[in-house]
Chain A
Amino acid sequence: MTEVDLISHIERDYILNLAKKGEREDGRGFDEYRKLLLQPGIIKKAEGSCLANLGETKVLAGIKVDKGTPFPDTPDQAVMTTNAELIPLASPFFESGPPKEDSIELARVVDRGIREAPALDMPSLVIKEGELVRVVFIDLHILDSDGNLFDASNRAAVTALRTTKIPVLDEEGNPTEDLMPLPMLKTPVSCTFAKIGENILVDPSQNEEKVLDARLTVTTEDNGYICAMQKGGDSQFTVDEIMDCVKKSIKIGKEIRKTISDLIKKEGL
């Protein structure tokens, strides 16, 4: 017998009936996101960081940049690794211990979007080809789980990366006192959709996640290319539904990219 994250039939029916009428529990439109609040640079110990609030979902991304050996099959690329901690703080249903499948899927989906865009200028982070490269750790710390960890984590991670400062290295590869921004090429933005009955809703709330039949996360980059996708849940999407989500993702991606850029400019980061 374990703790179960249930939704009652009454609450489920309410959400389904609302969806049939084109409405949502919190009054949002199907294509409307909850309020996004980004606080970059919140962890001074990390080379980069950002706390993202998406509605009440809170994700803290920390970027640590170290030095290390490259992978043997990619001697001319930096190393990047993404980890997600679904810590017990964030939900009555998260347990401590090694990452389980939800935490691993979350980390890999966020990682895929960042890696494939490609967000980081991986070759320029090589110090000595085949021997020494920068190692970028992206750590996602979930603080409050209230629906759509994928998009909250993505926004926290990319904003943190965009505001990361790393030491300039001298010819020997030793750090100097000067700092430079982490070299980036793209800002990938993910959009997650929930399929409830025949309806597709963006940015599922906690209850909507419990009720959805299927889930789709689409990550796009600055030029409107799709760089990562992930379907979740036990049901199916039609091709039309997928293309509709893709179209919306490209549009929303542009908006979020602008939000992030405006914020960075405004804070002078």
Chain B
Amino acid sequence: MELIKDGIRIDGRKKDELRDIKIEVGVLKRADGSAYVEWGMNKVYAAVYGPRELFPRFLRRSDKAVLQCKYNMASFSVDERKRPGPDRRSVEISKVTGGALEPVVLTENFPESVINVNIEVVQAEAGTRCAGITAASVALADAGIPMKDLVPACAAGKVSGEIILDLCKEEDNFGESDLPIAMIPRTGGISLLQMDGLMTGEELEEALNLAKKGCEIIYEKQKEALRKRYKGDDHD
């Protein structure tokens, strides 16, 4: 399969082009904060509850809130129906999602409590963990939970020997390498980093920088979505 020809990918994108992304804030009534992200064919909800009391008690920390992230996929979100409930992949993604958001959430403000972040993928098409983290940081902001920064996430990869941004499903399945990252824009630091496949050191560096550029674009979309929620009200 020719995944890339003359700099054009199978879905018509250029090497450094993102799929279409739409972010909406405050889409769920019961949640303290919520967001909905459409990213290519991915459809992801994120809901935040908290800070609130944590049970069982032995999980409480006296110095900060516990950030509990849970990533889940709906049975009908993938081609072959998935049995409901967490599988090993979901558990791992939940854990690294927590690692992506932990550096920015000011958990020290809320000792002995929990902040629940729930990510629900209702349609999946490569890149759900990045869509999930992107949605989760917006949902945290919507919940009024103080954060140092928002956290955009994006993947880069290697396909037919070329470094590209934001892999689609075929590129993820048939390409040579996939590198999802999450970035803290204020410092440029990387809080999520996973990689599979084969890459040289130079290719890795190129991919990292390309993914960071993608994150910067997504960061602007996150900010715009949050501002839009309250715009249209005059405040002067």
Contacts and interface: CB of A to CB of B under 8 A. Distances in A.
Given A43-B122, A88-B49, A145 B85 contact: no
B120 A137 contact: no
Given A89-B45, A143-B45, A62 B74 contact: yes
A146 B49 CA distance: 16
Interface residues of B, number: 33
B76 A90 contact: no
B8 interface: no
Interface in B85-102: 85-86
B75 interface: yes
Interface size class of A (residues with CB under 8 A): 20 to 34
Interface in A1-22: 1-3
B81 A66 contact: yes
Contact of A87 (B72, B76, B123): B72
B28 A144 contact: yes
B30 interface: yes
Contacts of A49: 76
A83 B30 contact: no
A96 B134 CA distance: 22
A2 B54 CA distance: 9
Given A45-B123, A144-B30, A145-B30, A139 B74 contact: yes
Nearest to B94: A96
B30 A43 contact: no
A58 B36 CA distance: 13
Given A45-B76, A66-B81, A141 B31 contact: no
Contacts of A143: 28, 45, 120
Interface string B91-121: 0000000000000000000000000101010
Contacts of A3: 52-53, 55
Contacts of A96: 70, 72, 86
B76 A139 contact: yes
Interface in B185-199: none
A216 B70 CA distance: 34
A143 B32 CA distance: 14
A124 interface: no
A69 to B, nearest CB: 16
B49 A137 contact: no
Contact of A141 (B55, B74, B81, B85): B74
A109 B80 CA distance: 26
Given A43-B76, A43-B77, A46-B76, A92 B70 contact: no
B39 to A, nearest CB: 14
B116 A85 contact: no
Contacts of A112: none
Given A43-B123, A87-B118, A89-B47, A98 B85 contact: yes
Given A2-B55, A45-B76, 6 more contacts: A43-B77, A46-B76, A63-B76, A66-B80, A85-B84, A139-B81
Interface of A: 1-3, 42-46, 49, 56, 58, 60, 62-64, 66, 83, 85, 87-92, 96, 98, 137, 139, 141, 143-146
Interface of B: 28-32, 41, 43, 45, 47, 49, 52-53, 55, 70, 72, 74-81, 84-86, 116, 118, 120, 122-125
